[in-house]
Structure 1
């Protein structure tokens, strides 16, 4: 595996990632009514809608793309800004190739969750799989929001059942789950 990639999504597991892990919303205000803090947003469009509803997520992971195409200028400016993130306290940049999770992304996600400052993580590559480790990194009862292509925003409220499912998916990826767990600073 290239660079510091610790997990890679095998083709056989792709179909298991298609069903949403929680309810799907098309209205950010309604989603925010049901969400609990801290909120981790995965994806540019999700982050754009949350910001548009007046809420800055505790952590947002974006790659300036949506459905494999560049986001439009309005979304990019609102989320990433022209001279840094307009709505976030901290900005981090990481590399993470498509279909993978790198140690850099995982450890940056962990630090961002623990920071207590709103953090924008700009991913060079792809952030799509970051919802799974985010579910493991946030406290019980927190929210992870990610995009469901063509449908809307998925709200995952963390707890033992959804954590077990996310852990199972990560453990079945190709690579070194023990290194991923270490990068996320998860207990054994």
Structure 2
């Protein structure tokens, strides 16, 4: 599925709470996590930040790029590694299948995307377990924290349904 021009502005609106960069520290992030939160990070910098805070994401989705520039992957010991091809401005059916598969595996899991991972926030929000919290970066603004609820699932599904 490709991202139509008409949806680009809509996807710039955070799906959840936007913590400004200056407030995106461990204490503020932990306030939005439940006791047994299944933490999902989408993005290299967000993943790296959570690992540095000792908040190891159950599912990490990275593409070894930050603002389109090549970077080293965040350091992590003993995660199950998966890879998938997902071109920029698209969500492939294979990506959705791999995300579903990742949720059925024992964490931590790292999914490395050849292409671009940004839009994979949508299928993650649809298929994430009930106790999940999704974290992703809002470029030049801060960190978005999304608690998975039926409303979030529906919103993500309708955005996905609007893709071509």
TM-score strictly above 0.5: yes
Residue 127 of structure 2 corresponds to which residue in structure 1?
Answer: 137
Q: Deviations for 1:13-40, whole angstroms, at most 9, x for unmatched residues?
A: 1010011111122324121331231111
Mark the runs of 5 or more structure 2 residues left unpaired by the alignment: none
- 1:60 deviates by 0.5
Residue 29 of structure 2 corresponds to which residue in structure 1?
Answer: 31
Q: Which runs of 4+ in 1 moved over 4 A?
A: none
Q: Label 1:88 to 1:18 Cα distance change in 2 as closer, same or farther (>3 A).
A: farther
Residue 64 of structure 1 corresponds to which residue in structure 2?
Answer: 64
- 1:114 deviates by 1.6
Mark the runs of 5 or more structure 1 residues left unpaired by the alignment: 1-6, 175-188
What is the TM-score normalised by the length of structure 2? 0.90
Bigger mean CA deviation after superposition, 22-31 or 133-142: 22-31
Q: Distance in 2 between matches of 1:32 and 1:64?
A: 25
- 1:116 deviates by 2.1
Bigger mean CA deviation after superposition, 53-62 or 99-108: 99-108
Contact residue 39 and residue 57 of structure 2 kept, 8 A: yes
Residue 46 of structure 1 corresponds to which residue in structure 2?
Answer: 46
- 1:93 equivalent to 2:83? Answer yes
Contact residue 103 and residue 129 of structure 2 kept, 8 A: no
Could you say what the CA RMSD is over the residues aligned between the two structures, in angstroms? Answer: 1.4
DSSP 3-state at the match of 2:104: helix
- 1:101 deviates by 0.8
Aligned length: 158
- 1:156 equivalent to 2:156? Answer no
Q: Distance in 1 between matches of 2:115 and 2:109?
A: 18
Residue 6 of structure 2 corresponds to which residue in structure 1?
Answer: 12
What is the TM-score normalised by the length of structure 1? 0.79
Contact residue 56 and residue 88 of structure 1 kept, 8 A: no
